[in-house]
C-alpha cells in the first residue's frame, strides 16, 4: 500500500512539473535559510552552556551607586572578596578568578608578537570550566607561577610544528615556560583567550600584589560554583554585606549573574569580552520561522488553488471505494515526496553555501552528518513542513461529494478562496515587514557612516606606548616620549602628532568623585570620562571649541587647568561664565579654560557622557600620527623606523582610526547584511508563490481571456484583469504590516543612543518596492497570456 501511495505521489509530482518546481524551490530555499538562521541562533543561545557545571556557575557583578542619578555596573570585583566569600559562605562549593584580557608582547626566540588575548587565572579555574588539554595538565600548569598555557592555534603561531611544551616565551624581563596546550575554545565561549598565566605570576610583582590586596581594587572577574538548591538572592546579600563591611564608604550591591546569561549583558561598564544582542537573536529566530511559514503557504495555496484540476480523479477514487483516510494518506505521501526532495536539495544547498555563510558571520559552522543538533533542525523542519503542507489540502480534497463534480459544482467554496486570499495577505505582510525593516536598518547604518563623529579620522593611525620599556622611570619615560614625538614630526610624510592616555574610540578610563567646584550639589557625584591630551590634539582631530581655548605648550599653568565637554557643562549645572572658574580635578585646583563640543568617544549605541580633558604627560599611553595626503605608506615606513629605534623590544603594531571606527559597527553591519539576505529570500519565495497563483488564474480563465481578446481587449486589459486582485491583496498586506513594522523597528532602534526617526518616506519607499515586485511577478504571466493567439485559447476547451 505504501509503495502504491509513493508511486502515485511521484507520478503526480512529475505530471505537475511547474507547480512542483515552485513548491520544491520555495521549500528548499526556505529550509536552507532557516537551517542557517537556526545554526546561528543556537550558537548564540548556547554560549558557555557546554561546561558540565554551567547551570550552577554564577559571576559576581558589582553595582556601584554613585548618586541618585548615576550607577556603575562592573563585572570585576576585588580579589579579597573571593577569598573572604569562600571562607565565610558555606553555599559556595568552589570559586574561580580571572584577571580579564590584557595586551602584552611575546618575545619568542627574538621574534616579537603583540598578544591581545592573554589573561591570568587562579587554581580554581579548571575546576569550574571545561578545557580539552592536548598536552600537559592543570597540575603541571600551576606548579610554577611563571608557566604559560597556549591554545593549539597560538602554539602553532609561535612554534610552528615544533612541540610547544617546554618552550620559553619572554614577557618583559621574565621567562615563562609553556606547560600546557589546550584545544581552541568553541566559538560559543565567552573566554576566547589564546594564552593563560597563573595569578601567582601577577602577584609576584610587589606593585601589583599591593593593588590586589586592596578592597578598593576591582581587578578580577569572580565566578562561583554554588551547591544545588541554593537561594541565589541570599548568597548575593551575604556578598553585599562582606563587600560593604570591608570597603566602607562605597555603596555597592552585589548581584549574581548566571554563566549562561553573561553573553547577553548590555548594562556593564566597559564590558569584556564583547557581548551579544538578545533582540537580534529573537529577530532572526522569528525570521527563520517566517521563512518556513512563507514556503508552506506557497504549497497550501497552490495545492488548494489547483484542486479543481484533480476533482475528477478524486471523485472516481471515491466512487470506486476509496476511504477518506486513504485519500488523506495519498496527499500526505505527495507532501512527503515533495518535502523529501526539498530536504535533499536543502542538503546540497547547505553544502555549497556553508563556506559563504561562515565568511559572512565570521563563525566556523560545520556540517557533519553525525551532528545531533543539525538532524534535529532538519527532521523537525521536515515534520513541520509535511504536516502543514498536507493537512488542509488533504482535508479539502477528500471531503467533497464526488457526484457534485459531475453536476458542475465546484469543489472550491467561497470560504476556501477567502482562506487562500488570507494566506496571500499573511505572506506579503511578512514580506512588507521585512522590506520596511531592511530599509530602516540600512538607513540607520548610513546615518552612522555619514554622521559627524565630532573629530577627524582620515589618515590617522595610533600606536600603544610600551610602559615596560622604561622600568617605571617616569622621567626617562617622559624624555623618550618627547623625543619620539619631535622626531616623528620632522618627517615630511607626517603632518601632525598627538598624545593621549587612551584610544579615542575606547575611552574606558573614568572616575567618580574626581571633580569639585564652588556651589557643587553635595548629593551629586558624577562619573566622568578622563582624557589626557596634548596641545596638538585639537589641530589633528579638529575638535571644535565652543568657548575659551585649548591647551598651550607655552603655558605652564595648563598642567592644572581643564577643558570640559558640553555634556559636562549641562550635567554639572555650572554657573556662568564657565571660562576662568576654579575647578578641582583629582585634588588639583586649576581653571576651566575651554568648553569642547561633544564628540563620540564610543559607538553611537552609547550616550556621550561628561568628559574632563586635562594635560598630564605622565598619563600618555598612545601616540597618534597623521599622514600627509597620498603619503600613508611613506609615513608608516618612517614611523616604523623611528619606533624600532626607541622601542626595539616592541612590535610596530598600528591601528588606523577610520578602521577602528568601522569595527565598532561590525556586529551591526553583520546584522544588516543577514537581514538583507534572508529578507530577499523570503520575498523571493513569496513572489514564487504569487507567480504560481497567477499562472493558475491565467490557466483557469483561458477561454474567458480568448473571448475578451476577440471582442477587442488589449494586452493591458488582460494584465489588469489578472493582476488587480493580487495587487489589492498585496496592498492590504502592506497596510497591515506597516504599523507592526513601525513598532518593531522602533524597538530595534532603541539599541542606539543616536538614531534616525522613522518617517513616511520609509513606508513610501517600501510600498513602491513591494508594488514593483508584485507587478513584475503577476505581470510576467499576465503579459504572456495576453499576447497568446485567442484562437489557441478557445481550443483549450
pLDDT at 595: 94
d(CA 168, CA 107): 9
The 3-state secondary structure of 328-395 reads HHHHHHHHHHHHHHHHHHHHHHHHHHHHHHHHHHCCCCCCCCCCHHHHHHHHHHHHHHHHHCCHHHHH
What phi and psi, each to the nearest 5 degrees, are found at residue 24? -70, -40
pLDDT at 23: 78
Q: Which three cell numbers stand for residue 354?
A: 556553508
Task: Identify the CA nearest to 762 among candidates 736, 739, 730, 731.
Answer: 739
pLDDT at 571: 86
pLDDT at 482: 87
For β-strands 588-596 and 562-565, DSSP reports them as parallel
Of all helices (H) and strands (E), which one includes residue 195?
strand 195-198
DSSP 230-286: --HHHHHHHHHHHHHHHSTT--EEEEEEEGGGGGG--S-TT-SS----HHHHHHHHH
Tally Cβ neighbours within 10 Å of residue 629. 9
pLDDT at 414: 43
> How is residue 307 annotated by DSSP?
G
pLDDT at 296: 80
Tally Cβ neighbours within 10 Å of residue 633. 10
pLDDT at 361: 84
pLDDT at 211: 86
What phi and psi, each to the nearest 5 degrees, are found at residue 458? -70, 135
CB 300 within 8 A of CB 423: yes
CB 658 within 8 A of CB 457: yes
DSSP 556-591: GGGGT-EEEEHHHHHHHTPPSP-TT-EEEETTEEEE
Burial label, 86 (beta-carbon count in 10 A; 0-12, 13-18, 19+): middle
Place of cell 561590525: 666
Please state whether 242 falls in left (phi above 0), alpha (psi between -120 and 50) or beta.
alpha
d(CA 414, CA 393): 15
pLDDT digits (tens, 9 = 90+) for 695-729: 766 666 666 666 666 666 676 776 677 677 778 88
- Determine the 3-state secondary structure of 52 from DSSP: coil
Intervals of the chain under pLDDT 50 = 414-415
pLDDT at 557: 87
Of all helices (H) and strands (E), which one includes residue 214?
none
Quote the pTM value.
0.82
State yes or no: cis peptide before 577, omega within 30 of 0. Answer: yes
pLDDT digits (tens, 9 = 90+) for 297-354: 877 777 766 655 666 666 666 666 666 666 666 667 777 777 788 888 888 998 899 8
- Start-to-end C-alpha separation, the chain: 36
For the chain, the helix, strand and coil percentages under 3-state DSSP, each to the nearest 5: 55, 15, 30
Task: Identify the CA nearest to 277 among candidates 256, 288, 263, 289.
Answer: 263
- CA geometry: angle at 357 spanning 671 and 351, to 5°? 150
Task: Identify the CA nearest to 32 among candidates 280, 371, 356.
Answer: 356
Amino acid at each position: 500500500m505504501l509503495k502504491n501511495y509513493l508511486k502515485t505521489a511521484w507520478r503526480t509530482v512529475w505530471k505537475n512539473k511547474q507547480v512542483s518546481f515552485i513548491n520544491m524551490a520555495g521549500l528548499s530555499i526556505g529550509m536552507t535559510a532557516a537551517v542557517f538562521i537556526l545554526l546561528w541562533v543556537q550558537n548564540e543561545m548556547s554560549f558557555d552552556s557546554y561546561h558540565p557545571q554551567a547551570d550552577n556557575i554564577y559571576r559576581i557583578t558589582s553595582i556601584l551607586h554613585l548618586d541618585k542619578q548615576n550607577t556603575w555596573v562592573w563585572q570585576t570585583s576585588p580579589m579579597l572578596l573571593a577569598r573572604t566569600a569562600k571562607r565565610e559562605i558555606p553555599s559556595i562549593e568552589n570559586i574561580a578568578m580571572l584577571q580579564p584580557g590584557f595586551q602584552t608582547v611575546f618575545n619568542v626566540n627574538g621574534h616579537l608578537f603583540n598578544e591581545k588575548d592573554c589573561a591570568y587565572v587562579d587554581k580554581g579555574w579548571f575546576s569550574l570550566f571545561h578545557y580539552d588539554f592536548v598536552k600537559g595538565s592543570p597540575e603541571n600548569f600551576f606548579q610554577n607561577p611563571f608557566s604559560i598555557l597556549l591554545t593549539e592555534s597560538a602554539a602553532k603561531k609561535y612554534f610552528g610544528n615544533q612541540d610547544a611544551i617546554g618552550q620559553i616565551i619572554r614577557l618583559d624581563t621574565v621567562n615563562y615556560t609553556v606547560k600546557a596546550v589546550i584545544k581552541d575554545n568553541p566559538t560559543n565561549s565567552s573566554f576566547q583567550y589564546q594564552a593563560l598565566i597563573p595569578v601567582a605570576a601577577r602577584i609576584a610583582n610587589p606593585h601589583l600584589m599591593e593593588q590586589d590586596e586592596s578592597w578598593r581594587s576591582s581587578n578580577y572577574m569572580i565566578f562561583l560554583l554554588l551547591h544545588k538548591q541554593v537561594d541565589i538572592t541570599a548568597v548575593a546579600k551575604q556578598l553585599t554585606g562582606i563587600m560593604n563591611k570591608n570597603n566602607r564608604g562605597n555603596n555597592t550591591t552585589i548581584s549574581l549573574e548566571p554563566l549562561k546569561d553573561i553573553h547577553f549583558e548590555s548594562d556593564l561598564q566597559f564590558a569584556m569580552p564583547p557581548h551579544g544582542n538578545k533582540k537580534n537573536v529573537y529577530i532572526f529566530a522569528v525570521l527563520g520561522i517566517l521563512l518556513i511559514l512563507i514556503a508552506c503557504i506557497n504549497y497550501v495555496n497552490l495545492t488548494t488553488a489547483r484542486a479543481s484540476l484533480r476533482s475528477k480523479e478524486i471523485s472516481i477514487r471515491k466512487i470506486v471505494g476509496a476511504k477518506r483516510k486513504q485519500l488523506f494518506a495519498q496527499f500526505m505521501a505527495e507532501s512527503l515526496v515533495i518535502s523529501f526532495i526539498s530536504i535533499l536539495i536543502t542538503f546540497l544547498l547547505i553544502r555549497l553555501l556553508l563556506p559563504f555563510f561562515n565568511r559572512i558571520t565570521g563563525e566556523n559552522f560545520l556540517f557533519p552528518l553525525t551532528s545531533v543538533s543539525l538532524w534535529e533542525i532538519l527532521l523537525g523542519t521536515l515534520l513541520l513542513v509535511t504536516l502543514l503542507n498536507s493537512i488542509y489540502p488533504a482535508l479539502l480534497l477528500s471531503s467533497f461529494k464526488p457526484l457534485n463534480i459531475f453536476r458542475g459544482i465546484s469543489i472550491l467554496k467561497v470560504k476556501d478562496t477567502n482562506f487562500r486570499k488570507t494566506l496571500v495577505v499573511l505572506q506579503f505582510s511578512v514580506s512588507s515587514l521585512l522590506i520596511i525593516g531592511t530599509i530602516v536598518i540600512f538607513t540607520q547604518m548610513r546615518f552612522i557612516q555619514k554622521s559627524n563623529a565630532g573629530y577627524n579620522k582620515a589618515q590617522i593611525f595610533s600606536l600603544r606606548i610600551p610602559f615596560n620599556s622604561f622600568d617605571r622611570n617616569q622621567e626617562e619615560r617622559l624624555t623618550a616620549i618627547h623625543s619620539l614625538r619631535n622626531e616623528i614630526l620632522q618627517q615630511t610624510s607626517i603632518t601632525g602628532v598627538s598624545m593621549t592616555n587612551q584610544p579615542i574610540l575606547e575611552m574606558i578610563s573614568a572616575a567618580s568623585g574626581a571633580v569639585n567646584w564652588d556651589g557643587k550639589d553635595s548629593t551629586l557625584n558624577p562619573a566622568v570620562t578622563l582624557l589626557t591630551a596634548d596641545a596638538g590634539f585639537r589641530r589633528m582631530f579638529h575638535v571644535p571649541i565652543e568657548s575659551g581655548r585649548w591647551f598651550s605648550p607655552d603655558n605652564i599653568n595648563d598642567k592644572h587647568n581643564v577643558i570640559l565637554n558640553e555634556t559636562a557643562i549641562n550635567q554639572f549645572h555650572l554657573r556662568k561664565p564657565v571660562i576662568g572658574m576654579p575647578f578641582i580635578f583629582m585634588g588639583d585646583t586649576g581653571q576651566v579654560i575651554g568648553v569642547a563640543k561633544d564628540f563620540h568617544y564610543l559607538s553611537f549605541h552609547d550616550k556621550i557622557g561628561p568628559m574632563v580633558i586635562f594635560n598630564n604627560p605622565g598619563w600618555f599611553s598612545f601616540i597618534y600620527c597623521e599622514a600627509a595626503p597620498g603619503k600613508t605608506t611613506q609615513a608608516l615606513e618612517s614611523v616604523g623606523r623611528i619606533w624600532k629605534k626607541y622601542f626595539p623590544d616592541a612590535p610596530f603594531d598600528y591601528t588606523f582610526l577610520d578602521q577602528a571606527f568601522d569595527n565598532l559597527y561590525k556586529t551591526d553591519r553583520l546584522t544588516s547584511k543577514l537581514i538583507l539576505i534572508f529578507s530577499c529570500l523570503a520575498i523571493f519565495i513569496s513572489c514564487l508563490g504569487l507567480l504560481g497563483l497567477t499562472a493558475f488564474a491565467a490557466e483557469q480563465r483561458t477561454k474567458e481571456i480568448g473571448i475578451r481578446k476577440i471582442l477587442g481587449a488589449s494586452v493591458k486589459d488582460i494584465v489588469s484583469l489578472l493582476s488587480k486582485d493580487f495587487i489589492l491583496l498585496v496592498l492590504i498586506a502592506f497596510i497591515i504590516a506597516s504599523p507592526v513594522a513601525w513598532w518593531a523597528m522602533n524597538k530595534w532602534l532603541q539599541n542606539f543612543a543616536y538614531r534616525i526617526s522613522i518617517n513616511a518616506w520609509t513606508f513610501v519607499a517600501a510600498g513602491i518596492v513591494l508594488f514593483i515586485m508584485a507587478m513584475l511577478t503577476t505581470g510576467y504571466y499576465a503579459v504572456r497570456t495576453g499576447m497568446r493567439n485567442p484562437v489557441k485559447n478557445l481550443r483549450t476547451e
